[in-house]
Chains A and B, each alone.
Chain A
Amino acid sequence: MLKAPSTRPSPKPGGKWDYERVKVTIVRGGGIAGIATTTRLRSSDLSPPEAGELERRVREAGLLEAGAGSPVVAPSHPDDLLYSIAVEEGGEERTARFTDSGMPPAVRSLVEWIDSIASA
Chain B
Amino acid sequence: MAHVGSGKRCCCSIASPDLLLHLAENGETEEQRRAAIKAIAASASMRTQRSIAGQVEGQLLGEVASVAGPAPAGEAPQAVYDLEGGGRSELPGKERRKTGEGPTGDKPVDDAFDATEATYRLYRDEYGRDSVDGKGLELVSSIHYSSNFDNAFWNGAQMVYGDGSGHLFQKGSLTSSIDIPGHELTHGVTQFTAGLEYSSQPGALNESFSDVFGSLVKQRKLGQAADQADWLIGAGTLVPSIGKALRSMKEPGTAWSGDRQPGKMADYVDLPDDGDPANDNGGVHINSGIPNHAFYLAATKIGGNAWEKAGKIWFETLTGGQLSSDADFKAAAKATEDAAAGLFGAEGAEHTAVAEAWREVGL
Contact in complex: B281, A32 (CB < 8 Å) = no
Determine which of A70, A78, A119 lies in contact with B165 in the assembled complex, contact meaning CB atoms within 8 Å: A119
Interface status of B70 (Cβ within 8 A of chain A): no
Does A115 contact B275, Cβ atoms closer than 8 Å?
no
Which parts of A63-79 form the interface with B (CB within 8 Å)? 70-79
Residues of B in contact (CB 8 Å), total 51
- Determine the distance from Cα of A79 to Cα of B11 in the docked complex, in whole angstroms: 24
B16 touches A81 (CB 8 A): no
| Majority secondary structure of chain A interface residues (helix, strand, loop or mixed) | loop
Decide yes or no: A78 and B187 within 8 Å by CB, A35-B256, A84-B276 being known contacts.
yes
Complex Cα distance, B183 from A35, in Å, reads: 16
A-B CB contacts (within 8 Å), total count: 123
- Residues in A neighbouring B246, C-beta threshold 8 A: 32-35
Judge whether A119 and B45 touch: CB under 8 Å.
Answer: no
- Decide yes or no whether B314 CB sits under 8 A from chain A: no
Q: Which A residue sits closest to B196, measured CB to CB? A: A78
Q: How far is the CA of A83 from the CA of B156 in the complex (A)?
A: 20
User: By the criterion of a CB under 8 Å from any partner CB, how many residues of chain A are at the interface?
Assistant: 35
The answer on a CB contact under 8 Å between A81 and B1 is no
Asked whether any CB of chain B lies closer than 8 Å to the CB of A45, the reply is no
Q: Is B153 an interface residue (CB 8 A)?
A: yes
Question: Once the chains are docked, how many angstroms separate the CA of A78 from the CA of B185?
Answer: 11
Q: A37-B168, A97-B275 are in contact. Are A76 and B17 (CB under 8 A)?
A: yes
Interface 9-residue window, one of A2-10, A22-30, A48-56: A22-30
Whether B151 and A31, one on each chain, are in contact in the complex, defined by CB atoms closer than 8 angstroms, is yes
Selected from B150, B153, B276, the residue in CB contact (under 8 A) with A80 is: B153
Q: Is B130 an interface residue (CB 8 A)?
A: no
Asked if B358 is an interface residue, CB under 8 A from chain A, the answer is no
C-alpha spacing A100/B275, complex, angstroms: 12
Query: Can you list 22 contacts pairing A with B, beta carbon distance less than 8 Å?
Result: A29-B280, A30-B277, A30-B281, A32-B183, A32-B234, A34-B280, A34-B286, A76-B45, A76-B156, A77-B18, A77-B153, A77-B187, A78-B190, A79-B154, A79-B184, A80-B153, A82-B276, A82-B277, A83-B277, A101-B88, A112-B147, A119-B148
